[in-house]
Structure formats: structure tokens, C-alpha cells
Amino acid sequence: MNQCDQETDTRIYAGLSAAIKSLAPVDKFDRALGSKTAVAAGLMVYRNNVRAAYLRVLSETFPVVQKLVGEKFFRYMAHEYFHAHLPSSRLVIQYGEALPGFIEHFEPVSHLPYLAEVARLELAWLSAYHAAEADSLNEVNLLALIESVPESAKFSVHPSVRLLSSDYPVHTIWRHNQDSAAERLRLPDTGEAVVIVRPDHRVLTSTISPGVHACMFAIVSGASFREGLEAAVETEPTAPLANVIREIATSRVITGVIA
Amino acid sequence: MSAGFHFEIPALAAGINVKPLHYKKALTTNHNLDFFEVHAENFMGAGGPPLRWLEGFKAQYPLSFHGVCLSIGGRDDLDRDHLARLAVLIDRYEPTLVSEHLAWSNDHDFFINDLLPPPLTETALQRICDHVDLVQTRLKREILIENPSHYLRLDGNEIPEPEFLNALARRTGCGLLLDINNVFVSACNIDFDADDYINAIDVESVKEIHLAGHAIDQFEDEIIRVDNHSDHVCIAVLQLFRKFIYRSGPVPTLIEWDTNVPTFETLAAEAAMAKQIIRVAIEQERFHESV
């Protein structure tokens, strides 16, 4: 590369991307020709386009978080997030993955301790939405399968299964905010465990008992069905096993037996 | 180069870039649209509703995949993982057209997620040719490259953009996607003659045309046109379109509308209008040839 082209390269690629990232006054940009206002106007278009595109990704990923804090504050938070986590992935859909952690340490929302958990639920929902296809067993087929295999059998789970356990009633908050006309909510004073799965075209979310959560978590982590049930008993000694099995069977998280 | 698509797009054809809110209408109602375009990157998940919809489109209509993230105009090496994802998608859905941009959207560790124009130098041209060669080899097919929108008159350009695009097509065998709104917006923003630009493009390379609306913004006393696909195609763009078609003959034409997306019927009507302009331009051309 000749020196002149090398210079042009650096001026344009490094110069423009730095100017887009930066918040420095736009009239300092010296890589373009024309009047100062023309250059400033052009650069503002890029800065706005880039931030608006990423804001759109976040509001599409976290509609409930946006609803809880309001559009205006969400825009401010998205702007702060952009500068704290400069995007590097072409998979723009993953841009929001660090938002729950960011929210946890974002001082202006420290009075909303459940907000990060709601963000986690929304991320889990989105990743279930885009997860691979598989056929999950319905209640009848799964109960028949359980009858026919040894207790040491391991089950395969649907690729869209996501489990969450929160100290806050995160699913109740999330579901309540799906409906814009919903009435004032009386929140339970306990945490909630949630299972998310997309057995067909729709993402299903439901609150599950701590025992069922422990059992599903064990199965997802590769434990046998028996070990799963043991985990349920350990977490929730009073829960009847028959109920745990029924809840698992109706959840559509299991796709079959691992050979 | 052979492509494994199963639907041709006729030369006299008009389509839209289809948004999720219109998928159902596009697939279940009668309309006059000949093909549909989607952003390839919106279908790079492992499964789920987006890919199910895409199956539906594949079964009924010719598809065009428009990529926005390859950063072909960048100074960095192409992202092989991203190219592999695109290849999988193309194998599975067999689009008739595949396009990308004369633009960069990534620089080193910063994924900018916007389409920035590359420097127009011989060095950049050679590098972009290499990128296009690599993409076409990997995808085993021709791709089309779209002209970008401009908001800044960048310092150091040596080759006029139409010449740059013609050379890119000549050297790599790629086609061109001529976005006439981009030409108009850029001509206004950085001050060149849109007619000259359109006239300088090699017509035989152009395999698709984009039409879109834009916004007019103001910064202090500076008027700037923003290519945000938020409105009807403006008259000036339609006039440029007619002039180009008059010279090129019919080329599959697509209406892009991404912001303030109107009803499906409005989009279909916009596409029908574009098709009518093509018909009239061909008639006029035939008339002039016959006298």
C-alpha cells in the first residue's frame, strides 16, 4: 500500500469510527471537506443512526424493562450502556446480553432491585424464541416413557428450555406488564422460579415450584431422572413427587431419552 | 456462476422488503408483488418463528437476501464466521438474489451497525475486490453490491463512485444493486450531480434497484437528507429511476420502507407504481426506437 493510501485508510476508517464513538464536539472532526456546519451535520447523522439502531435493539429485547422505567429513562440508560459496552458483535441480537449485569450496577436504578431480573427473563425469552427446533413430548407420551425406562435414564431437553430462579416475583411482574391495561398489581412477597420453552411457534413461560425447578435444572445439567427427583426432594421435602412428575410432564421441556 | 435458487425473478418485477408485521398478509392474501427481500441477519438464529416464516416465503415467492453486516468495504479481513452463517442460510433458503453493500460496518473491535462509505482509492478497490471474490467463492454464487448513502464528503477519494462500482463489477463479476434514493440523498448532501452518477453506471451490471423514501433534517442552517426509509419514494428519485430504466430496460425493483412502516396495501401500491413506471419507460423506449 502506498503511503498516501495508507493515510487515507487511517483517516477514514480510524477517524470516522472514533468520531462516531466519541462524544467530543462534532466540529473537531477534520476528515471531511466542506463547511464546518456541513461536516458537523453529517457526523451527527452517523452518531444518531448508530445510537438509535442500538437503542432499537435494546427496546425490542427488553420491552418490559422499558415499560417499567419509561421510554425517556430507558433511552438514557441505553446511551450509558452503549458507552460502557461498545458493541463488537455482528450478531446484533446479542447486543443486550450484558444489560442485566449493567443494570445491577447502574446507580440510578439501584432502588429497583428486581429490574435486572426482569431483564434476565426477557433475554431468556428472546433466546428461547430463536432456539433450534425439536419435538417435545406431551404429557401422555412422557409419562409412558418414564414408565418404560430405568430410573437411571437421562432425558434430552428441548433446545429452547431456559430456567430462572429469582428472589423476586419476576414472572408475575413480567406477565403483568404484557398487558398495558392491567390493573394495579398485588405482588407476592416470595421469589419465583420460571421455566421458558418454545415447543412449537409460541414461547411458553410458567412459574414452577422450587422442587420442579431443582429437578429440571438437574436434568438440563445432565443428571438422570432419578437424580432430578432427588434434587426436587432435597429442595422441597414436602412436595409430593407425583406432583413434581406431573408438572415436568405437562411442561413440554423433555424431548426423549439420551441413548 | 450457477445458483441453486428455485424461482426466477422476471426482469419486469417489483417487490418489497417485508417486515414481520406483514408476513402473514404477504403469504396469505392476493397481491401484485413479485418477490420479497429480507435482511439476512434477522434470520441467523438457530430456529424459531423467523425461520418458520422464511420457509413459507421460500415455498411461494422468489426471495432476495440483503446482508447488512459483512463489512465488505472495511479495512479488516472479512468475518469468516459471519460468512459461514450467511452460507448456511443461503443453502437452506435458496434466495434468487443475494446482496451486500459498498460499505463498512465494522472497524477492529467496534461493530458500528451502520453502513459507512469506504475510501474510494485504488488500494481500497483492490481490497474490496478481494473481499467480494472471497464472498462469491464461499457462497458459490454471484452477489450484488449496493451503493451507499453519504453524509460527509470524505477527504482523500480518488475514484468517482460509479467508476469504482463499475470496476468492482468488472473485476469480480459481481452485480450491482443500484439504490436510487441513496444516489439522490448523497447528491444533495455532498453535492454531486445525481443524473451524471446514474448515467455513469454500467447498466448491464445492475441486477436490482432499490427505491425508498428519506427524511429531511436540519442541523443549524444545514439541510441534510437522511436515508431512513421512512416515507414514500420522492418525485426526484422516481424521475432518476425512470431515466435509468429508460437506458437499462426492466430491472427487478424493490421498495424499502423500514421506519414508520405503513400498511401492507400501501407498500404493495408503491411497488405497483414502480412497476408501472418501468412499463411506461419500456414503451417509450420502444416508441423512440421505432421512429
Residues of chain B positioned with their CB less than 8 A from the CB of A54: 113
Domain residue ranges in chain B: 14-290
- Please judge whether A88 and B110 are an interchain contact, meaning their C-beta atoms are less than 8 angstroms apart: yes
At residue B246, the pLDDT reads 94
Give residue A181's pLDDT band: very low, low, confident or very high (50, 70, 90): low
At residue B60, the pLDDT reads 96
Residue whose C-alpha is closest to residue A195's, from A112, A110, A109, A136: A136
- Predicted confidence (pLDDT) per residue in A216-257, tens digit: 999 999 999 999 999 999 999 998 999 999 999 999 999 999
What's at B17, amino acid-wise?
N
What's at B27, amino acid-wise?
L
Percent of chain A with pLDDT over 90: 85
- Report whether pLDDT(A82) > 50: yes
At residue A187, the pLDDT reads 86
**HEC per residue, chain A:** CCHHHHHHHHHHHHHHHHHHHCCCCHHHCCCEECCHHHHHHHHHHHHHHHHHHHHHHHHHHCHHHHHHHCHHHHHHHHHHHHHHCCCCCCCHHHHHHHHHHHHHCCHHHCCCCCHHHHHHHHHHHHHHHCCCCCCCCCHHHHHHHHHHCCCCCCEEECCCCEEEEECCCHHHHHHHCCCCCCCCCCCCCCCEEEEEECCCCCCEEEEECHHHHHHHHHHHCCCCHHHHHHHHHHHCCCCCHHHHHHHHHHHCCEEEECC
At residue B117, the pLDDT reads 97
- Whether the CB-CB separation of A78 and A55 falls below 8 Å is answered with yes
Residue whose C-alpha is closest to residue B70's, from B57, B61, B79: B79
At residue A1, the pLDDT reads 56
Burial class of residue A100 in the structure, from the number of CB atoms within 10 Å of its CB (0-12 exposed, 13-18 middle, 19+ buried): buried
Structure-derived torsion over alpha carbons of residues B278, B280, B284, B286, reported in degrees to the nearest 10: 70
What's at B143, amino acid-wise?
I
Give residue A5's pLDDT band: very low, low, confident or very high (50, 70, 90): confident
- Whether the CB-CB separation of B153 and B190 falls below 8 Å is answered with yes
| Cα A28 from chain centroid (whole Å) | 38
- Whether the CB-CB separation of B190 and B154 falls below 8 Å is answered with no
Give yes or no for B235 touching A (CB within 8 A).
Answer: no
At residue B150, the pLDDT reads 98
Three-state secondary-structure class, residue B225: strand
Q: Which parts of chain B are beta strand (E)?
A: 14-17, 35-39, 63-66, 97-101, 104-107, 110-116, 144-146, 153-154, 175-179, 206-212, 215-219, 222-226, 253-256
At residue B3, the pLDDT reads 46
Residues of chain B positioned with their CB less than 8 A from the CB of A50: 112-114
Residues of chain B positioned with their CB less than 8 A from the CB of A35: 222
Burial class of residue B39 in the structure, from the number of CB atoms within 10 Å of its CB (0-12 exposed, 13-18 middle, 19+ buried): middle
At residue B24, the pLDDT reads 98
- Predicted confidence (pLDDT) per residue in B230-269, tens digit: 999 999 999 999 999 999 999 999 999 999 999 999 999 9
Task: Collect the ranges in chain B with pLDDT lower than 50.
Answer: 1-4
Give yes or no for B261 touching A (CB within 8 A).
Answer: no
At residue B5, the pLDDT reads 54
Q: Please count the other Cβ atoms lying within 10 Å of the Cβ belonging to residue B230.
A: 16
> Chain A interface, mutation test: which of B113, B121, B261, most A Cβ atoms within 10 Å?
B113
The arithmetic mean of pLDDT across residues A142-159, rounded, is 95
- Report whether pLDDT(A213) > 60: yes
Question: Is the ipTM value over 0.90, yes or no?
Answer: yes
Cα–Cα dist A69/A71, whole Å = 7
At residue A24, the pLDDT reads 84
At residue B289, the pLDDT reads 79
At residue A28, the pLDDT reads 67
At residue A2, the pLDDT reads 66
- Beta-ladder partners of B35: B15
Cα of B289 to nearest chain A Cα, Å: 44
Cα of B286 to nearest chain A Cα, Å: 42
The superfamily in CATH containing domain B14-290 is Divalent-metal-dependent TIM barrel enzymes (3.20.20.150)
- Predicted confidence (pLDDT) per residue in A22-47, tens digit: 888 876 677 899 998 999 999 999 99
The arithmetic mean of pLDDT across residues A115-144, rounded, is 97
What's at B198, amino acid-wise?
I
Residue whose C-alpha is closest to residue B37's, from B262, B209, B235: B209
